[in-house]
């Protein structure tokens, strides 16, 4: 046990919810899987099984796609006016808020996420995200085109059809609604596969969608594994587009499966190794808070985590001392406890992976300043960990660890900072801390990443498009840009008669 704050606080069973939904949601019904198989979902606080969930495989995905196809080809959803769809989406948002505590508890026991954050941030945010896209549903329109001859021509923005969504476990609630909300606004129908680690809130959302009035077959939720249910979605001949969030390796497989089946368009939100660059005019205390928040928020299981922190040599010593002190005081423990700042990693696989990266970092010759060990002997808790003397080509500086592990670097010039920050195959996010506008503008224009935060971190909002450069993927979630993943453009042309041209 590294310090007093790194005790695992006692587990509260008080907030543990009764699990109501554990079956596949297809065509408005909760069903067992065709194979009859189920899989265990585990509480990372205790390593104990929470419940068994029906395990969807290829044949279940096929059934869900058939339902979504009928709902798209002849059902009411794509044929409603945008404002009718919006009304139902708004009702769903209200129901989510009414069930806030129960859903927050599901994400906490399934994913080890902080209960207070789920309650105060994740779930209220997705209700607002649904309303944002509901507001867009009746404003999707094409344009009148200019013709060089006598034609009247215009475009229609049509829903792309049946969409497949494949999402990861680190933000089960955010990811669900980042995908589903714009697709619904566009008039699509869909099949969503939650991550096998965190299926519970997705099934609760499916139930609420039905109460809100989303017609049967429009939203189908198939829990299951990637190599079976996930692969069946990306290779399905009757799914018209796939929106994926997850690792770069899996993204490549999804794209390959899409290419080898019906050439469906894919959008990929993948991994990251995001830099936070702190200049010597920064308020060091605030910069330390930002850097810790950037890597320890959601126990580092964040694709935009600030896992590489570059600090100007003028303030490096002070920064290092303070960041280590504060990191030692970081409270790791039961995510239901409001004093706790960091819960357990999502599962054993992720826990082992992080610890093995830490060992690798030590072997590579980086200096471990603090942390590096398991906390307690039950649950997947890991100490906040900071390395310095890290070389840019070390594995811990290049690979996405997806855990509470910061790598610290010292830099001398703005050019060096930009070059080092871009020395990665990823390009999801970046942070800059400075009071100097010229530096902020220069660096933000020269960083190859989908979002740049100046003097803040993790600043997301409904209207901020979000996605990757380079091997962090392509396509954008959030903002009105996301709607276009679920729409296609049709040109319609009519001649104008009595024209000298015809
Ligand atoms: P993962 O790629 O293994 O899993 C993500 C999803 O893909 C899961 O639902 C999984 O079941 C499914 N899947 C796995 N194999 C599949 C296959 N062959 N075909 C189709 N689907 C398959 O990723 P993970 O390890 O569970 O999640 C962590 C990764 O996700 C990290 O690398 C992280 O950066 C990334 N991530 C990215 C974002 C983003 O917005 N860019 C957000 C969250 C997580």
pTM: 0.96
pLDDT at residue 15, as a whole number: 60
In the chain, count H helices and then E strands.
15, 20
pLDDT at residue 429, as a whole number: 98
CA of 248 to the centre of ligand 1 (A): 8
Beta carbons of 344 and 20 less than 8 angstroms apart = no
Label residue 220 left, alpha or beta by phi (over 0 means left) and psi (-120 to 50 means alpha).
Answer: beta
- CB of residue 245 inside a 6 A radius of ligand 1: yes
Beta carbons of 138 and 482 less than 8 angstroms apart = no
Token look-up 């935060």 returns: 453
Say whether 249 is catalytic.
no
- CB of residue 250 inside a 6 A radius of ligand 1: yes
Run of H or E including 159? strand 151-159
390 is written with which tokens? 């890290």
- CB of residue 243 inside a 6 A radius of ligand 1: no
Beta-bridge partner residues of 188:
none
Say whether 84 is catalytic.
no
374-404 pLDDT per residue, tens: 999 999 999 999 999 999 999 999 999 999 9
Beta carbons of 419 and 460 less than 8 angstroms apart = no
Low-confidence ranges of the chain (pLDDT < 50): 1-4, 9-10, 13-14
Measure the CA–CA gap between 316 and 323, rounded to whole angstroms: 10
- CB of residue 400 inside a 6 A radius of ligand 1: yes
CA of 168 to the centre of ligand 1 (A): 5
Q: Where are the beta strands (DSSP E) in 44-85?
A: 48-54
pLDDT at residue 1, as a whole number: 35
338 is written with which tokens? 């409001």
Which of 118, 303, 320, 383 is the catalytic position? 303
Q: Which of 185, 195, 187 is nearest to 240 (CA)?
A: 187
Token look-up 């819960």 returns: 343
- CB of residue 272 inside a 6 A radius of ligand 1: yes
Measure the CA–CA gap between 145 and 154, rounded to whole angstroms: 5
Q: What does the DSSP 8-state code read for residue 280? A: T
Which of 55, 269, 301, 320 is the catalytic position? 269
CA of 269 to the centre of ligand 1 (A): 9
Measure the CA–CA gap between 496 and 462, rounded to whole angstroms: 43
| Domains in the chain with CATH codes | 16-270 (3.40.605.10), 275-454 (3.40.309.10)
Report the atom number in ligand 1 closest to the C-alpha of 272: 34
For every residue of 79-132, which 3-state class applies, written as one string?
Answer: HCCHHHHHHHHHHHHHHHHHCHHHHHHHHHHHHCCCHHHHHHHHHHHHHHHHHH
Beta carbons of 112 and 345 less than 8 angstroms apart = yes
- Ligand 1, atom 22, lies closest to the CA of 226
């Amino acid at each position: 046990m590294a310090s007093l704050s790194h005790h695992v606080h006692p587990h509260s069973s008080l907030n543990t919810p009764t699990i109501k939904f554990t079956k596949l949601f297809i065509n408005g019904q909760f069903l067992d899987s065709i194979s009859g198989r189920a899989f265990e979902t585990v509480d990372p606080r205790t390593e104990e099984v929470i419940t068994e969930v029906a395990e969807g495989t290829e044949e279940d995905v096929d059934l869900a796609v058939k339902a979504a196809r009928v709902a798209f080809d002849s059902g009411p959803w794509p044929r409603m006016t945008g404002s009718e769809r919006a009304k139902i989406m708004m009702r769903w948002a209200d129901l989510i808020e009414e069930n806030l505590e129960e859903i927050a508890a599901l994400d906490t026991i399934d994913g080890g996420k902080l209960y207070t954050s789920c309650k105060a941030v994740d779930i209220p945010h997705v209700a607002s995200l649904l309303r944002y896209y509901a507001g867009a549903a009746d404003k999707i329109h094409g344009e009148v085109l200019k013709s060089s001859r006598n034609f009247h021509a215009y475009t229609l923005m049509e829903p792309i059809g049946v969409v497949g969504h494949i999402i990861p476990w680190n933000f089960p609630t955010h990811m669900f609604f980042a995908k589903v909300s714009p697709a619904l606004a566009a008039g699509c129908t869909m099949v969503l596969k939650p991550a096998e680690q965190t299926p519970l809130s997705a099934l609760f959302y499916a139930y609420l969608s039905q109460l809100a009035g989303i017609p049967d077959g429009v939203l189908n939720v198939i829990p299951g594994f990637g190599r079976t249910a996930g692969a069946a979605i990306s290779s399905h001949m009757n799914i018209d587009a796939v929106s994926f969030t997850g690792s770069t390796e899996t993204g490549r497989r999804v794209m390959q499966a899409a290419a080898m089946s019906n050439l469906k368009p894919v959008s990929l939100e993948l991994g990251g190794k995001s830099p936070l660059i702190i200049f010597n005019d920064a308020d060091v205390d605030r910069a330390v808070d930002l850097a810790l928040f950037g890597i320890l928020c959601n126990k580092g299981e964040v694709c935009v985590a600030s896992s590489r922190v570059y600090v100007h040599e003028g303030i490096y010593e002070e920064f290092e001392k303070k960041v280590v002190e504060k990191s030692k005081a970081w409270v790791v423990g039961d995510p239901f406890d409001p004093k706790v700042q960091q819960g357990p990693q999502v599962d054993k696989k992720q826990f082992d992976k992080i610890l093995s990266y830490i060992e690798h970092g030590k072997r590579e010759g980086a200096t471990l300043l603090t942390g590096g060990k398991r906390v307690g002997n039950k649950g997947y808790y890991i100490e906040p960990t900071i390395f310095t003397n890290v070389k840019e080509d070390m594995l811990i500086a290049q690979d996405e660890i997806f855990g509470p592990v910061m790598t610290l670097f010292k830099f001398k010039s703005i050019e060096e900072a930009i070059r080092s920050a871009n020395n990665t195959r990823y390009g999801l996010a970046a942070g800059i801390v400075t009071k100097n506008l010229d530096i902020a503008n220069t660096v933000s224009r020269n960083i190859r990443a989908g979002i740049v935060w100046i003097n803040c971190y993790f600043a997301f909002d409904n209207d901020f498009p979000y996605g990757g450069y380079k091997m962090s993927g392509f396509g954008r979630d959030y903002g009105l840009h996301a709607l276009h993943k679920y729409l296609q453009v049709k040109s319609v042309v009519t001649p104008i008669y009595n024209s000298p041209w015809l």
